[in-house]
């Protein structure tokens, strides 16, 4: 597996190539709604399935975020978002705590969206959480269309992350923890 990335807090521009069209579409949601420029080029064993590619992109993206954020000085730390799309509604809450934890309740109505196995959404977020050191709660509250369910999850994730990583103007040089470190 080969995953190359660059990440910048900018305007939400994405250059994506994972070989899985729907997954690229979801990563584009993270870039666009998180206002993070992403350049992700992944070459995996798609002749088997998309599992390793999706998981490795999550791992690599988590590592990139951990490196980019550093000691978390001056960030808001917590973020949440509700995002609707037609009949679907999802809620995501994130804490850049330094402690990995994923709680995901998304009862996808279909096992596949295009060539994307919906079970792989969990693998992506698990890889991200473990390597970014975040606590992440993902709940799909409503939805009948798996495409819409996934899209609300990824958009809400982007918006929650954007809120958590926003600079705190009242504590620009403070680590947001009573322990002094995260």
List the CATH number of the domain containing 86. 3.30.230.40
Nearest to 35 by CA among 7, 58, 15: 7
Spatial separation of the C-alpha atoms in residues 55 and 42, rounded to whole Å: 11
pLDDT at 180: 86
pTM of the model: 0.95
**76 assigned to some structural domain:** yes
**173 assigned to some structural domain:** no
Say how many residues make up the chain.
Answer: 182
Judging by beta carbons within 10 Å of its beta carbon (0-12, 13-18, 19+), is residue 107 exposed, middle or buried? exposed
**80 assigned to some structural domain:** yes
pLDDT at 10: 74
Number of domains in the chain: 1
pLDDT at 144: 98
Contacts for 139 with CB less than 8 Å, ≥ 6 apart: 90, 91, 92, 104, 105, 106
**129 assigned to some structural domain:** yes
**178 assigned to some structural domain:** no
**68 assigned to some structural domain:** yes
> What is the residue range of 72's domain?
2-164
Ordered mean pLDDT values, 10 residues apiece, the chain (182 residues): 57 95 98 95 95 98 95 97 98 98 98 97 98 98 98 98 96 92 90
pLDDT at 42: 96
């Amino acid at each position: 597996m080969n995953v190359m990335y660059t990440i910048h807090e900018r305007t939400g521009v994405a250059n994506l190539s994972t070989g899985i069209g729907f997954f690229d579409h979801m990563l584009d949601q993270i870039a666009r709604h998180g206002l993070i420029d992403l350049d992700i080029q992944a070459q995996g064993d798609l002749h088997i399935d998309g599992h390793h590619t999706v998981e490795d992109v999550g791992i690599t993206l988590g590592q990139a975020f951990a490196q980019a954020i550093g000691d978390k000085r001056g960030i808001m730390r917590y973020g949440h978002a509700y995002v609707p799309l037609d009949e679907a509604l999802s809620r995501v809450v994130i804490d850049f705590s330094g402690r990995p934890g994923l709680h995901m309740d998304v009862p996808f109505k279909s096992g596949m969206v295009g060539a994307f196995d919906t079970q792989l959404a969990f693998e992506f977020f698990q890889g991200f959480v473990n390597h970014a050191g975040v606590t992440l709660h993902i709940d799909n509250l409503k939805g009948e269309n798996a495409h819409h369910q996934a899209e609300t999850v990824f958009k809400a994730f982007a918006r929650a992350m954007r809120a958590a990583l926003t600079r705190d103007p009242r504590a620009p040089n403070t680590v947001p923890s009573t322990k002094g470190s995260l």
